[in-house]
Structure 1
Amino acid sequence: MNDKLYKLMNWPRIEGIIYSEEDNPHEVLGPHITGKSVLFQTFQPGASGVFVIAESENKKYKMEMVDESGYFACLAAGKIPEHYEYEVQYGKKESVRVKDAYRYHVGLTENDIDKFNAGIHYTIYEKLGAHLMTVDGVEGTFFAVWAPNALRVSVVGDFNHWDGRVHQMKRSKDGGIFEMFIPDVKPGECYKFEIKAKGGLTYLKADPYAFGQQLRPENASIVRDISGYKWKDKKWIGEREKNQQENSPISVFEMYLGSFRRNKDTDEYLNYRELAPEVVKYVKEMGYTHVELLPIMEHPLDASWGYQVIGYYAPTARYGTAEDFMYFVDTLHQAGIGVILDWVPAHFPRDTYGLSQFDGTCLYEHADPRQGAHPHWGTLIYNYGRPQVSNYLIANALYWVEKYHIDAIRMDAVASMLYLDYGKRDGEWVANIYGGNENLQAIELLKHLNSVMKKRNPGVLMIAEESTAWPKITGKLEDDGLGFDIKWNMGFMNDFINYISYDPYFRAHHHNELTFSMVYAYSENFMLVFSHDEVVHGKSTMVGKMPGVLEDKFANLRISYTYMMTHPGKKLLFMGQDIGEFREFDETRETEWSLIQHEPHKGLNRLVKDLNSLYRKKSALHALDTSPEGFEWINCISPEKCMVSFLRKAEKKEEVLVVVVNFANTAQKFVIGVPYEGKYKEILNTDAKCYGGLGRVNSDVIFVMEEEVDGKPYSFTMESAPLSASIFSYIPYTEKEKEQIERKKAVLAAELRAEEAKCEAEVAKEEAAKARQEAENANKLAREAMDRAREAEKKAVEEVKKAQEEMKRVEKLRREAEIKSSNI
């Protein structure tokens, strides 16, 4: 080695490159002007010789091996060639031409880094990760990764034989991001980041921002170009906000793509493009408005169903590429079907190639396991208070919406984010700065995300799976709410399933579980769900939860779905439950579509289809969904009958529906109070033969009676089959019917008056006869009294005569006595 070249070499830093501990190799490797010459340095481990080929100048410079590990250098007179390559020799015969990655100084701008460090770079995925780029006319890929505590980071892949010494990355000025442009790295190439942590340990990590990832069990990231897809869903996107308003009908078909359909010959997964028409056909036929996909972000374990995510920015390779998934969403949109994506910001798995201990330290998670780990799930918790971590998650939600046209984000396990002690015992968690159990950083993340989502994508829905009574989940941010649009109603699901699982004989004692949901129905904007969580892990399927013999099970399930579809709230049903599967959900098999051939399953499927149709067409079932004015109990206080009846109302009274559900396993006759005069027609009865029932329906239009029942001025009588639900539509009288009714009323009134007059005449006649009889009786009594008086008078005369004669006799005796006395 000549002295000049020797003196130009920075030997300590060269040693750092050789031992892979240099975090700014661009300052050493590549071309550097030194005086009137150019110093070329390259590190090609295992090479026996290297030449600099400057074809534009028709020059070739032999480089000197300055270290036997493969470090080469040379001095070339003049300026840096516009185009040059290295010709690298291995042994005597093999040689390759490679472009020098260290001549390109490409990186994030200071503004990008500042926004990222502040947690407000909402398109950071366009900067970090792997991005195809053309620099100075050279095509390649720019790599960037956030690993602030790493000693050194390299890009490794098929293009450099997975050798971390070849492409060591440059640390950005702020020290947090490593970046590098590598020429000739094309779409489809596999790569990872090799991270050397302080202390010497080296890790291979998948790219947190990768747009593609290998199919398990392989786990390398893949360079993907996601910019080329031509969307055809402009009409859907333009109407999305209108179709997803607060009171829009939303009926969701929750599905796991791997179990919806499979290849008939191999039982392997179908591609997103193959699945798209199959999903559209079924969902359109059934009348669902949306599909909700269990997480399609890349994950290593099938049995997690996607809820333990490694590749947050990569659609799973199980079903194809990123562009294939775009085609899937686009196809559904063109068919008028919305797409909801399950998203998991609450936790992530511990797999060593993922986010765990990413740069040798707890970068994405908390270092304290009381804050950074779920003891029961075995997963790690994000450090939401770190701006770059919250930025990673917020940008990810926006990424799926803005790059894949997703219509709603359903956030999994929100409760575990809100509570620091979720699933933990005393001593397993750390209180917040105020001594409470609220996760203040997670709350701020949720508010931040919901706020920015509404500003950037106003028609997109944010849905929370939150299982506690945390207030104002769907409250507005300005009112100190969390800003979600919809909350899963876990209380309804648990209470109702508990109620319906009882034998009808015992349901009267649990009536409150049936009706309690209406006590809090308007505290949030709810979605009623019978989700995948309820049909796994030994919980049985929906039909399996129902009591009784087979016929009763299906009858119970039919009234369950009818009650849910007529109850206030959006709707969600997991796949397989609308055909009555008896086998629990299993990610390893296809849904048992053959069941539809059998009558009970076919009838149930028909019912769900008809319920979806009614839900969408009848405004009473959705127009006032979030307003108490849209619902009114008719009778919810007859537990002994195991029945409820209620009204669903819209703006116009003509649109009102009457719902009657008989949860008893016996036929009953109900008198239903209604607010409006008119006719009521049964438009759905779950006991209809087409649904698998026995056909005990109310086929005739029922006219109301002007009799007050249940506090309503009118009423009608209906027959309710055992375990059945009926929906009646209201039909006001026509003008002709009103005239006929008025005429009939007049005739009836006249007849009534005539009958009353007749009755009055009869009464008068009876009263006259009675009076005559009473008069005759009085006369008789008078005559008898006169006779008695005459008799008494005659008797009195005789008595007087007797008295007079007695007086004469007494007088005679007195005189005689006096005479005797005078004679003496």
Structure 2
Amino acid sequence: MILDLIHPTEYQLHLFHEGNFFECYRLFGAHVLTIDEKTCTRFCVWAPNATKVSLASDVNNWNGSGYEFKKVNDEGVWMLIVEQDLTGCLYKYEIHTSTGEVLLKSDPYAFFSEERPKTASICYPLDGFQWNDQKWLQKKEKNKVYSSPTVIYEMHVGSWKKKEDGSFLTYRELADEVIPYVLDHGFTHIELLPLVEHPLDISWGYQGTGYFSVTSRYGTPHDLMYFIDQCHQNHIGVIMDWVPGHFCKDAHGLHRFDGSWVYEYETEIDRENYTWGTANFDLSKTEVQSFLISNALFWMEYFHVDGFRVDAVSNIIYWPNSDGQRVNEFGIAFLKKLNQIVYQYDSNLLMIAEDSTDWPQVTSPTHYGGLGFNYKWNMGWMNDMLSYMEKGSNERSQFHDKVSFSLLYAFSENYILPFSHDEVVHGKKSLLDKMPGDYWQKFAQLRLLLTYMFGHPGKKLLFMGFELGQFSEWKDEEELDWHLLDYEMHGKMNLFVKELIKVYKRNKPLYELDHLHEGFEWIDVNNRDQSIFSFVRKGEEGDPLVIVCNFTEKTYEDYKIGVPKEGTYREILNTDAVDFGGSGVINKKPLEAIDEEFHGREHHIMMRIPPFGVSILRPVKHRKERKGNGKEEVRSYAVSRRARK
């Protein structure tokens, strides 16, 4: 039993080389072990083509002599046991190659690292943190993922907010600042850009060197655990951005780890990611599969993450540098295997594919031939809508199909609608600044775009800063433009975002049947001349919502809209309300359905249509239909209520 704790078992090694050891982090890396009241530190590394491996650390003045590893098997697993508690020590692996090079490498399985620009690994035991998120975990087990409201706040930790001296907030400081903010706005999840260790700030974490190492920029692993624990105690899910396709080529990292292509493809055309200057993981290699799938389970086990946004799935589905012409069967097999194993450990996890291809069945179960994700970013919808909105209102009639096209495939996958960081950086402008027209029209059209997004089938993801109405695009080395909240229109935009999310979460038709045809129905999709779209959203039961979107600056009185049932309709949200910065073209009074056919329906209403605006209408329940204490559950937007007084 003691030997089992120190030495790898034959079974562990077999599974690792077979590609099925999914808890590699328990064996590889640095582990402080206490056995028979004696403490030692075990180091274990895979370097199949090394001729010699030594430990270089601050304990031995970075001289590996006398700290040589023993080769455990012919496949290149090496191990060293130091009869000391080396908690906190800095270390690297001194790897001698077959060509005579001596490489100093960080530990691929290190749990912590020096703060950049330094690159040594740190021996850091992860035990000892007391989690208090049991209620969240129990709730998550009962959660209906697909029929729940989901609004994801995508964050870059380093540029959300900074201290007065310009330094980063720590994970613990972020917990105190971010959580109340997210709760106040109503977001259900936070998605964090990658927090693996990475050398270059402006890579935003997408070019990692330490996949098991929480970046030390913002604190320790226990500090990040605290942040996630606090999120869970406040009923906020945490999604990690994760990059299993490619990695950073810095000398201390995985690249040419033992002088040979250990983690990357051997063939240059497959190995080199010329777009990002990175190296592509060799997904055909079974040990790499063990490494990557173990990494996903590591974040789940030790950090209680609720999901992964898997970056650049297209770079895995197709061979790099092939322009989508060559399918990578190793990549396909890896994605299926990854999702199968992840769901065996936690069936409630969110596995989200950032995929721009038209590969079929990305969100279908693997036993039906799918890749096994449960969500996919709808990049087509995002590109079409931004392209449409950037057109002048007098041009939009020519591009009418850009709005309607997404509904032809909206239910072919389980989609998340993303306005992510990639759309508001590198000269692409902020969401607000993408909108054409004058100052007022920009704000009006951003409210229009956001409300159409929340009315469209699919869960929602938005990058930080949109809620402030930032004119400048994301500046990754500076904090958000918080001072904008002191200005009237930006404050009203922020109020609008809060109200929009409230309306979304309080009305089941907006989310309950997001992934089923039954949840959506066009009223009028053909009004190209006026650029007005109207549609119905339905829930599993109860009354539907009517949504009318006007993509021009024109105002209409007594506009005729066919409705799904007779009765009275009340406006529960109007983006043109004065308190949101609008012009006040709202429908103050209830709208009575007229018993006369229109839009192919037996009934219609006459309503006001605001400029660059959206109206969301809900049938008014009759007294016999009301629930609970007899009061009708009507959430009319607060600003309109105040405007009526």
Please tell me the TM-score bracket, short chain as reference.
over 0.9
Residue 261 of structure 2 is aligned to residue 372 of structure 1? no
- Alignment root-mean-square deviation, CA: 1.6
In structure 2, the residue matched to 1:772 is none
Q: 1:643 aligns with which of 518, 529, 532?
A: 532
Q: Distance in 1 between matches of 2:552 and 2:30?
A: 62
Residue 561 of structure 2 is aligned to residue 661 of structure 1? no
* Segment of structure 1 superposing worse, 239-248 or 218-227: 239-248
Q: Distance in 2 between matches of 1:653 and 1:363?
A: 58
1:173 CA displacement: 2.7
SS in structure 2 of the partner of residue 280 of structure 1: helix
* Superposition map of 1:351-500 within 5 A: 351-420=250-319, 422-424=320-322, 437-500=326-389
SS in structure 1 of the partner of residue 348 of structure 2: coil
The structure with more helix, counted as a fraction of residues: 1
SS in structure 1 of the partner of residue 598 of structure 2: coil
SS in structure 1 of the partner of residue 406 of structure 2: helix
| Deviation digits for residues 77-121 of structure 1 (CA, Å, limit 9, x no counterpart) | xxxxxxxxxxxxxxxxxxxxxxxxxx9994211111011111111
1:577 CA displacement: 0.9
1:242 CA displacement: 3.1
1:734 CA displacement: 4.0
Q: Distance in 2 between matches of 1:699 and 1:242?
A: 40
Distance 1:244 1:408, change over 3 A: farther
In structure 1, the residue matched to 2:636 is none
1:175 CA displacement: 3.9
In structure 2, the residue matched to 1:203 is 103
Q: 1:230 aligns with which of 130, 133, 140?
A: 130
Aligned 8 A contact 2:457 2:510 in 1: yes
Q: 1:714 aligns with which of 598, 603, 614?
A: 603
| Deviation digits for residues 708-728 of structure 1 (CA, Å, limit 9, x no counterpart) | 110111000111121111101
* Superposition map of 1:28-427 within 5 A: 106-243=6-143, 245-264=145-164, 266-420=165-319, 422-424=320-322
| Deviation digits for residues 654-683 of structure 1 (CA, Å, limit 9, x no counterpart) | 2x1110011011102321101211111001
Q: Distance in 2 between matches of 1:565 and 1:423?
A: 36
1:481 CA displacement: 0.1
Amino acid corresponding to residue 170 of structure 2 in structure 1: N
SS in structure 2 of the partner of residue 111 of structure 1: helix
Q: Distance in 2 between matches of 1:339 and 1:586?
A: 23
Distance 1:243 1:489, change over 3 A: same
Aligned 8 A contact 2:113 2:216 in 1: yes
Amino acid corresponding to residue 89 of structure 2 in structure 1: E
In structure 2, the residue matched to 1:605 is 494
Aligned 8 A contact 1:190 1:220 in 2: yes
1:690 CA displacement: 1.4
1:137 CA displacement: 2.9
Q: Distance in 1 between matches of 2:450 and 2:44?
A: 50
Distance 1:181 1:104, change over 3 A: farther
Q: Distance in 2 between matches of 1:110 and 1:652?
A: 56
SS in structure 2 of the partner of residue 514 of structure 1: helix
1:568 CA displacement: 0.3
Distance 1:344 1:105, change over 3 A: closer
In structure 2, the residue matched to 1:700 is 589
Q: Distance in 1 between matches of 2:525 and 2:328?
A: 39
Q: Distance in 2 between matches of 1:241 and 1:521?
A: 27
Amino acid corresponding to residue 433 of structure 2 in structure 1: G
Aligned residues: 623
1:259 CA displacement: 1.0
Residue 484 of structure 2 is aligned to residue 595 of structure 1? yes
* Segment of structure 1 superposing worse, 622-631 or 103-112: 103-112
Aligned 8 A contact 1:241 1:460 in 2: no
Q: Distance in 2 between matches of 1:697 and 1:141?
A: 69
SS in structure 2 of the partner of residue 159 of structure 1: coil
Amino acid corresponding to residue 666 of structure 1 in structure 2: K
| Deviation digits for residues 434-492 of structure 1 (CA, Å, limit 9, x no counterpart) | xx711111111110110011111111110000001100000111110000000000001
Amino acid corresponding to residue 416 of structure 1 in structure 2: N
Could you state the TM-score of these two structures normalised by the residue count of structure 1? 0.74
In structure 2, the residue matched to 1:778 is none
Distance 1:471 1:201, change over 3 A: same
Q: Distance in 1 between matches of 2:5 and 2:493?
A: 64
In structure 2, the residue matched to 1:730 is 619
Structure 2 gap ranges (5+): 627-645
* Superposition map of 1:650-799 within 5 A: 650-654=539-543, 656-669=544-557, 670-734=559-623
In structure 2, the residue matched to 1:59 is none
| Deviation digits for residues 273-325 of structure 1 (CA, Å, limit 9, x no counterpart) | 11012111110000000000000111000000000011100111010000000
Amino acid corresponding to residue 647 of structure 1 in structure 2: V
| Deviation digits for residues 690-709 of structure 1 (CA, Å, limit 9, x no counterpart) | 11112211010011100111
In structure 1, the residue matched to 2:631 is none
Aligned 8 A contact 1:679 1:733 in 2: no
Distance 1:380 1:724, change over 3 A: same
Higher RCO, 1 vs 2 (CA within 8 Å, ≥6 residues apart): 2
1:209 CA displacement: 0.4
Q: Distance in 1 between matches of 2:38 and 2:55?
A: 19
SS in structure 2 of the partner of residue 156 of structure 1: strand
SS in structure 2 of the partner of residue 578 of structure 1: helix
1:184 CA displacement: 2.1
Aligned 8 A contact 1:159 1:185 in 2: no
1:733 CA displacement: 3.9
Could you state the TM-score of these two structures normalised by the residue count of structure 2? 0.95
Aligned 8 A contact 1:244 1:250 in 2: no
| Deviation digits for residues 744-769 of structure 1 (CA, Å, limit 9, x no counterpart) | xxxxxxxxxxxxxxxxxxxxxxxxxx
Aligned 8 A contact 1:244 1:460 in 2: no
| Deviation digits for residues 41-88 of structure 1 (CA, Å, limit 9, x no counterpart) | xxxxxxxxxxxxxxxxxxxxxxxxxxxxxxxxxxxxxxxxxxxxxxxx
Q: Distance in 2 between matches of 1:506 and 1:498?
A: 12
Amino acid corresponding to residue 397 of structure 2 in structure 1: A
SS in structure 2 of the partner of residue 505 of structure 1: coil
In structure 2, the residue matched to 1:100 is none
Q: Distance in 2 between matches of 1:166 and 1:443?
A: 45
In structure 2, the residue matched to 1:518 is 407
Give the number of the structure whose alpha-carbon radius of gyration is greater.
1
Amino acid corresponding to residue 303 of structure 1 in structure 2: I
1:378 CA displacement: 1.3
Aligned 8 A contact 2:270 2:321 in 1: no
In structure 1, the residue matched to 2:466 is 577
* Superposition map of 1:11-26 within 5 A: none
Aligned 8 A contact 1:107 1:180 in 2: no
Aligned 8 A contact 1:349 1:356 in 2: yes
In structure 2, the residue matched to 1:529 is 418
Amino acid corresponding to residue 216 of structure 1 in structure 2: R
Quote the sequence identity (%): 42
| Deviation digits for residues 759-787 of structure 1 (CA, Å, limit 9, x no counterpart) | xxxxxxxxxxxxxxxxxxxxxxxxxxxxx
In structure 1, the residue matched to 2:632 is none
Aligned 8 A contact 2:417 2:460 in 1: yes
1:407 CA displacement: 0.1
1:594 CA displacement: 1.6
Q: Distance in 1 between matches of 2:609 and 2:20?
A: 59
Aligned 8 A contact 1:677 1:732 in 2: no
| Deviation digits for residues 334-359 of structure 1 (CA, Å, limit 9, x no counterpart) | 00000000000111111111001101
Amino acid corresponding to residue 479 of structure 1 in structure 2: Y
SS in structure 1 of the partner of residue 239 of structure 2: strand
Q: Distance in 2 between matches of 1:524 and 1:651?
A: 19
Amino acid corresponding to residue 363 of structure 1 in structure 2: V
Q: Distance in 1 between matches of 2:554 and 2:473?
A: 30
Amino acid corresponding to residue 548 of structure 2 in structure 1: V
Structure 1 gap ranges (5+): 1-102, 430-435, 738-824
